[in-house]
Amino acid sequence: MNSSALITGGARGIGRAIAETLAGLHFDVAIVYRSAHQAAEETAAACRRLGVRTLVINADISSREERNRILQALGDAYERLDVLVNNAGTAPQRRLDILEADEESYDQVMNTNLKAPYFLTQQIAKWMIAEKKKEDRYQPQIINISSISAYTSSPSRGEYCLSKAAMAMMTQLYADRLAEFGIPVFEIRPGIIKTDMTAGVVEKYNKLIFEHDLTPIHRWGEPQDVARAVSAIVQGYFTFSTGEILNVDGGFHLRRL
């Protein structure tokens, strides 16, 4: 029996890279998406070509009813879940100075980036705990895909920064709470990654990376860079760690003179 993994926001970008990487490691994968139907089906097809079972779920994980539906679908498809990857996220529809930002944008971003993974993790963790009590050799893991925005000020998208800073604390909270059950929780903190989310600011980041030495490693990050970090975690290379942050940012986090 293959292990299984759930990837939220798994249709494209970082999520797709993670899904395909886990499929390559013989994980059956469940892909949750909200709007990118064609991309989700293409990702699922790519995973199936690697010989694993793939489940595609269209759902808004900020909704309790939709999360319940996800859990029902997972329970019907898999005996248990080995890995939860909280990857789904959204940026503000418009970048607005925090002195002009509106509550609608705040609510949308916080619901998707914080409320959704917070409560989905709660539900999945309870399932993992129940299964762990049945089989001690069962080694589930939870991985949160955060951002350098967890600690980097961007006043034109304050709600996004707040959501990622809160996710960092969410990682610590769940790592602490689930340690007694042997369920580690990790945070992967991507930097500037070439995805749809950064497509509108390519020129800006090209100048920062290649002309202004923003990162010690002078290139854009790729979704596969993040997926490799997920791969290292799920293969059990960090058995004495929990609550750990893996920076996948080209060295952006370094304080340099």
Contact 106, 125 (CB under 8 A): no
CATH of the domain at 134: 3.40.50.720
Asked if residue 134 belongs to a domain, the reply is yes
Asked if residue 254 belongs to a domain, the reply is no
Please name the residue ranges forming H helices in the chain.
13-24, 37-48, 64-77, 103-110, 116-134, 158-178, 202-206, 223-234
Instruction: Tell me how crowded residue 44 is: count the other CB atoms within 10 A of its CB.
Output: 22
Asked if residue 257 belongs to a domain, the reply is no
Residue 5: name the closest of 140, 179, 172 by CA: 140
Asked if residue 256 belongs to a domain, the reply is no
Contact 226, 17 (CB under 8 A): yes
Asked if residue 74 belongs to a domain, the reply is yes
Please name the residue ranges forming H helices in 179-214.
202-206
Asked if residue 88 belongs to a domain, the reply is yes
Domain that holds residue 105: 3-248
pTM of the model: 0.96
Q: How many helices (H) and strands (E) does the chain have?
A: 8, 7
Asked if residue 189 belongs to a domain, the reply is yes
Please count the structural domains in the chain.
Answer: 1
Element (H or E) spanning 35, and its range? none
Asked if residue 209 belongs to a domain, the reply is yes
Q: For each of the chain's 257 residues, which pLDDT tens digit applies?
A: 799 999 999 999 999 999 999 999 999 999 999 988 999 999 999 999 999 999 999 999 999 999 999 999 999 999 999 999 999 999 998 899 999 999 999 999 999 999 999 999 999 999 999 999 999 999 999 999 999 999 999 999 999 999 999 999 999 999 999 999 999 999 999 999 998 888 888 999 999 999 999 999 999 999 999 999 999 999 999 999 999 999 999 999 999 98
